[in-house]
């Protein structure tokens, strides 16, 4: 009896220590609500094979939706637009095809998509305008954002991915008719590359992009709610957007000038229509917290999920190797370089969050974020829905984790 009592006391002390260990993360979640940065948000920390922290913090703001905390069980109901966290999924799709030897990263894109024959480059001399590019646009340039194509929202001369194109083929055809900003492969420019890769997946696999993702990634990982569309029932579970008045949303869309922060469902920007064929691999997916944490677990395991190989060790290494160093790219943030559509921390001192060298991951436009730390067997996942995008949210998140986790 005495032995049982001692064990119970030890467990109680351990639980209290574990609880206090993560208080900084809970404080971070509460602070970003209190300071009118986000609405409801949810966090998970996974370490050495198990979930060590899970918490959903609800804002109780008018119009917000509650994210239930189910005692460390990931919440399965709320759907989030993950925006650019779609990109690593598209990269994994390409690595699956790479494992099947259906392409070489050095292949010219025009080999598979003839629209890119005679690609034009923008000249620095305005009197010339454009000229036929000397360099071929290669698949590796799309994978690493070194094609020269940007985003229209960042001022690039490219088609707007939010416009109602029929399918990926039509969208890519319009992209190919626009000049790239520089000779392919010579610089880094964040842009619409994954939309082109989505079309390439269709051509190489003979399947619609979503069907390929579902068969080769979503079904094996059990990602049942990750897709490009929303049903009527899904829309009831779609997390509303938190934003302040007077901030631009997309192009020429303004919130009412109320001077207050609001929750809204009126500014989704993408339609998420059922039957959509323009399936954007760079920003088009919606997902749940529970779905995406499985994708993170697969990345943490180097391309495996449970006992199933999703991508090979060689392809995993290829997609996570830095292509653009932080001092060349100008940095995702100080100290970060870029691999295939993900950041990779090269200089921890410049980052200043306590994160170790080699972590990799990405974020979404509405401030979702994940990172993978293979050295310490950790991944972190954060989901909310708020604009504008603020790099400080993820920095504070990672700082709260690494300054407190043992």
Dist CA 403 CA 362 (whole Å): 21
Give residue 60's pLDDT. 84
- Domain total of the chain: 2
> Other C-beta atoms within 10 Å of 333: how many?
16
| Helices 168-176 and 193-205: angle between axes, nearest 10 degrees | 120
Checking if the pLDDT of 77 tops 90, the result is: no
Domain C-terminal end among 209, 241, 272 = 209
Dist CA 317 CA 319 (whole Å): 6
Q: Looking at residue 214, what DSSP letter applies? A: I
Checking if the pLDDT of 395 tops 70, the result is: yes
- Find the angle CA(221)-CA(227)-CA(230) to the nearest 5 degrees: 140
Give residue 149's pLDDT. 96
Residues 98, 68 within the same domain: no
User: Is residue 3 assigned to a domain?
Assistant: no
| 281-315 per-position pLDDT tens digit | 999 999 999 999 999 999 999 999 999 999 999 99
User: Is residue 11 assigned to a domain?
Assistant: no
Of 379 and 259, which is predicted with more confidence? 379
Give residue 11's pLDDT. 41
Residues 360, 313 within the same domain: yes
Could you give the 3-state DSSP secondary structure of residue 297?
helix
Dist CA 260 CA 242 (whole Å): 11
CATH number of the domain enclosing 201? 3.40.710.10
Residues 101, 80 within the same domain: no
User: Is residue 230 assigned to a domain?
Assistant: yes
* 393 beta partners: none
Checking if the pLDDT of 16 tops 70, the result is: no
The domain of 123 spans 92-209
Give residue 254's pLDDT. 39
Could you give the 3-state DSSP secondary structure of residue 51?
strand
Of 184 and 236, which is predicted with more confidence? 184
User: Is residue 14 assigned to a domain?
Assistant: no
Residues 43, 81 within the same domain: yes
Residues 187, 237 within the same domain: no
Dist CA 55 CA 381 (whole Å): 11
Residues 268, 347 within the same domain: yes
| 34-51 per-position pLDDT tens digit | 988 899 999 999 999 999
Q: How many CA atoms are closer than 13 Å to the CA of 295, on its beta-carbon side?
A: 32
Q: How many CA atoms are closer than 13 Å to the CA of 371, on its beta-carbon side?
A: 21
Domain C-terminal end among 165, 184, 209 = 209
Which residue in this structure is represented by tokens 């003839």? 114
Residues 318, 371 within the same domain: yes
Nearest to 332 by CA among 369, 364, 362: 362
| 131-184 per-position pLDDT tens digit | 999 999 999 999 999 999 999 877 778 888 788 899 999 999 999 999 999 999
Dist CA 349 CA 52 (whole Å): 26
| 177-213 per-position pLDDT tens digit | 999 999 999 999 999 999 999 999 999 999 999 999 9
Per the CB < 8 A criterion, the answer to whether 254 and 246 are in contact is yes
Per the CB < 8 A criterion, the answer to whether 183 and 121 are in contact is yes
Per the CB < 8 A criterion, the answer to whether 267 and 252 are in contact is no
Share of the chain above pLDDT 90, in %: 72
Dist CA 66 CA 19 (whole Å): 23
Residues 140, 285 within the same domain: no
Residues 358, 233 within the same domain: yes
Residues 242, 149 within the same domain: no
């Amino acid at each position: 009896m005495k032995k049982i009592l001692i064990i119970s006391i030890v467990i109680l002390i351990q639980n209290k220590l574990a609880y206090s260990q993560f208080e900084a993360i809970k404080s971070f979640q509460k602070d970003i609500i209190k300071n009118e940065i986000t609405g409801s948000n949810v966090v998970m920390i996974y370490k050495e094979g198990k979930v060590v922290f899970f918490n959903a913090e609800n804002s109780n703001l008018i119009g917000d939706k509650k994210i239930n905390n189910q005692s460390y069980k990931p919440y399965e109901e709320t759907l989030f637009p993950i925006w650019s966290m779609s990109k690593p999924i598209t990269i994994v799709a390409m690595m699956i095809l790479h494992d099947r030897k259906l392409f070489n990263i050095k292949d010219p894109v025009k080999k598979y998509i003839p629209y890119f024959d005679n690609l034009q480059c923008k000249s620095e001399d305005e009197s010339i305008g454009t000229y036929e590019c000397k360099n071929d646009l290669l698949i590796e340039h799309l994978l690493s954002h070194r094609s020269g194509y940007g985003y229209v929202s960042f001022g690039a001369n490219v088609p707007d991915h939010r416009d109602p194109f029929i399918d990926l083929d039509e969208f890519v055809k319009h992209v190919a008719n626009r000049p790239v900003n520089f000779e392919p492969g010579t610089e880094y420019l964040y842009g619409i590359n994954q939309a082109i890769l989505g079309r390439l997946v269709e051509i190489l696999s003979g399947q619609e992009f979503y069907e390929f993702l579902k068969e080769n990634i979503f079904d094996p990982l059990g990602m049942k709610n990750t897709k490009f569309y929303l049903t009527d029932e899904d829309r009831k579970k779609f997390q509303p957007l938190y934003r302040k008045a007077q901030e631009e949303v997309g192009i020429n869309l303004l919130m009412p000038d109320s001077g207050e922060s609001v929750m809204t469902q009126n500014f989704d920007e993408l339609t998420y229509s059922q039957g959509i064929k323009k399936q954007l691999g760079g920003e088009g997916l919606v997902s749940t917290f529970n779905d995406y944490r499985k994708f993170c677990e697969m990345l943490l395991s180097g391309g495996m999920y449970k006992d199933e190989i999703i991508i090979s060790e060689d392809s995993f290494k290829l997609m996570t190797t830095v292509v653009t160093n932080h001092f060349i790219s100008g940095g995702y943030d100080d100290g970060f370089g870029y691999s295939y559509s993900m950041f990779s921390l090269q200089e921890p001192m410049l980052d200043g969050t306590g994160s170790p060298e080699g972590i990799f991951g990405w974020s979404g436009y509405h401030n979702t974020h994940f990172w993978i730390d293979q050295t310490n067997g950790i991944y972190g996942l954060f989901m909310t829905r708020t604009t504008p995008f603020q790099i400080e949210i993820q920095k504070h998140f990672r700082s709260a984790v690494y300054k407190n986790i043992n």
